[in-house]
Structure 1
Amino acid sequence: MASLLDSLTPYSSRTCEPHHDASALSISIFLCTGLVVSYLPQHYRIISNKTSEGFSSWFLLLGVVSSTSSFFNIILLQWDAIVCCRSLATGACLESLMGVFQIGLQWAMFSLVFILFLVYFPEDKKRTAWHRPNTLHLELPTTLSGSISEEWKVNLVIAALCLGHLTLSFVISLVLLIVVGGPKDHELTNLWAGFLGVFSMILAAMQYFPQIWKTWQRKSVGALSIPMMMLQTPGTALFVYSLMMLPGSNWTAWITYMVTGLLQGTLLTLCIIWHFRNKQLGISDLDGTTLPQQQHPDEHTRLLGDDDGEAH
């Protein structure tokens, strides 16, 4: 690890001094723990129901690319702190990198949601059914269930775009660090870091619109987790504050999460409205279908029952 840092460190001298802030460290540890815990209900909901019904693939694309860009942005902005770890104690090193851990966990947890979305995508929506001619009665083999659906093709393209963006961001960032050094050593690296931050902000501002629109159209929550959003939305302000307090961090590192928090709160409000509405109507939160076991008799069903009795 030391040799790698040596190769990525410019010849200019660095001043590495440990900076301890007990309150900031406590907040960062709390946020990292809370971030992981908040995503668990979403992961569990998809796995337990074995479906990712209701997710917008464009919402996931924008979210993955945005979080990836934000992750590389904070790595570049905190590169001096990463390099200084070779001359600091383990505890001081970990404390100086808490901001990187926070955004790295955010990227990993959201990317896992996208992976689960692909794994548990409804099988009946992956293929289109074969249409048999009306004049011929052919018995087609049961193994031929149809061609790949347009929706599933789009999801596969989106997965390729996410992987391609991750690879490209990694290669460009690595080359800049090897050739010219961190943001404080060369303006080009600083511009790339700023571009990633602004790009992440723009995508985050757009991210929730496809999901809000799809949830509004479906009028059901689907596989979205309300507990996850209830945990994450109030914690956004604290998360943003902790990033703002990081040495060397600027607005491009935290503006993404402020915009995301506001839009996530909008989606949460919409999901809560549909949840209670569907509960009253006896409609499934997952797919919007009527739940027979929740159909209670009313005055109309009693009248039908009286007619049956008279006919008897």
Structure 2
Amino acid sequence: MQTNIHIDRLIEVLRVPTGREPTRECVPLDDKSTLMISIFLCVGLVISYLPQHYRIVVNKTSEGFSAWFLLLGVVSSTSSFLNIILLQWDSIVCCRSLSTGACIEGLMGIVQIGLQWAMFSLVFILFLLYFPENKKREIHPPTSLHLDLPNKLQPPLSAEWKISLVVAATCIGHLAISFFISILLLIIVGGPEHWQTNYWAAFLGVLSMILASLQYLPQIYKTWKSKMVGALSIPMMMLQTPGTVLFVYSLVVRPGTNWTAWLTYMVTGILQGTLLIMCIIWHFRNKRLGIRDIDTTAVDHDDNEEPNENTRLLN
């Protein structure tokens, strides 16, 4: 999912200056072809995520997602977003002296990465909002004695829901701390050209690339183990995987680039393609066996309904 990043930004991430550089002049880019490509990528990025958002909301469940997959994705996209803000802070400041069109054109890189962060973060928010209610608490084993007392205690939280809450707290904490450090370096310490700011931007960029390359491993493991597609969207992956291939190809054929520029995105594309193939196989296998991709039996009934003498013992 981390495919829409310009090669110029990647090269700038790995270039850490040791001193203060002269301030850039506010000159409009005036490159209509690059602007149209950026707009096309932004629109395509939003469209590619819509099937995933729609699938979770319509089915009212996020079953099948790995919390660790979402953690790596959110932290990676957050780091990438703050990284490009630091690297293109001059473009943000220059908006005060440029026209609206020139300002928007100069900020398209930030908009592109910002949309990536927003779309994936929305997947994580929907994951928490539509987490299956029947999996939030431990289920009493059939052999245990469970007395139905007037002031009975709630069953303890399940391990899966605890992990999800820890992941949510980690994502919020990472966003808050990284945002605070970035603002501190930009406004108080010395601005975007200060060596500390550039080292921090480089750290965020490298962290984003490492996490993005590992992002799909937990989800592949969970999907393989459950042999269920769950709430994962096959159309979303069918849109994004070819896009990753085209993006990697555009980096490979670009003069002056080497494997360090496209290796992370190639690994990400291979892992996403692996997950896509796995989901397609499980989808048709389960369809042949009469098994639904999403188990909606847990959300078809009222969770607040208490069992009584008329409740069936066997389903």
Fold equivalence (TM over 0.5): yes
Between the aligned partners of 2:183 and 2:59, the Cα distance in structure 1 is: 40
Q: In the alignment, does 2:124 pair up with 1:139? A: no
Counterpart pick for 2:130 among 112, 115, 120: 120
Match of 2:8 in 1: none
Identify if the C-alpha distance between structure 1 residues 137 and 62 changes in structure 2 by more than 3 Å, giving closer, same or farther.
closer
Q: Which runs of 4+ in 1 moved over 6 A?
A: 240-244, 250-255
Match of 1:35 in 2: 45
Q: Deviations over 1:274-308 (max 9, x none)?
A: 1122122222112499xxxxxxxxxxxxxxxxxxx
| 2:87 counterpart letter in structure 1 | L
Alignment identity in percent? 72
Q: Deviations over 1:244-265 (max 9, x none)?
A: 9xxxxx9999875554333212
Between the aligned partners of 1:131 and 1:139, the Cα distance in structure 2 is: 15
Secondary structure of the structure 1 residue equivalent to 2:148: coil
| 1:123 counterpart letter in structure 2 | E
The Cα of 1:39 is off from its aligned counterpart by 0.8
Counterpart pick for 1:215 among 209, 219, 223: 223
Q: 1:194·1:252 contact (CA, 8 Å) conserved in 2? A: no
Between the aligned partners of 1:230 and 1:173, the Cα distance in structure 2 is: 35
Q: In the alignment, does 2:56 pair up with 1:49? A: no
Identify if the C-alpha distance between structure 1 residues 193 and 253 changes in structure 2 by more than 3 Å, giving closer, same or farther.
farther
Match of 1:26 in 2: 36
Q: In the alignment, does 2:68 pair up with 1:58? A: yes
Matches within 5 A, 1:169-248: 169-178=178-187, 179-182=189-192, 185-237=193-245
Identify if the C-alpha distance between structure 1 residues 255 and 70 changes in structure 2 by more than 3 Å, giving closer, same or farther.
farther
Unaligned runs of 5+ in 1: 1-9, 245-249, 290-312
Higher gyration radius (CA): 1
Secondary structure of the structure 2 residue equivalent to 1:221: coil
Secondary structure of the structure 2 residue equivalent to 1:173: helix
| 2:216 counterpart letter in structure 1 | Y
Match of 1:152 in 2: 161
Greater helix fraction, Structure 1 or Structure 2: 1
Counterpart pick for 1:68 among 75, 78, 91: 78
TM-score w.r.t. the length of structure 2 is 0.78
Match of 1:303 in 2: none
Higher RCO (CA < 8 A, seq sep 6+): 2
The Cα of 1:156 is off from its aligned counterpart by 0.7
Match of 2:110 in 1: 100
Match of 1:14 in 2: 24
Choose 251-260 or 226-235, whichever is displaced more.
251-260
Q: In the alignment, does 2:269 pair up with 1:261? A: yes
Aligned residues: 272
Q: What is the alpha-carbon root mean square deviation over aligned residues?
A: 2.8
Q: Deviations over 1:217-267 (max 9, x none)?
A: 1111110000111111222355568999xxxxx999987555433321221
| 2:28 counterpart letter in structure 1 | P
Identify if the C-alpha distance between structure 1 residues 72 and 238 changes in structure 2 by more than 3 Å, giving closer, same or farther.
farther
Q: 2:140·2:146 contact (CA, 8 Å) conserved in 1? A: no
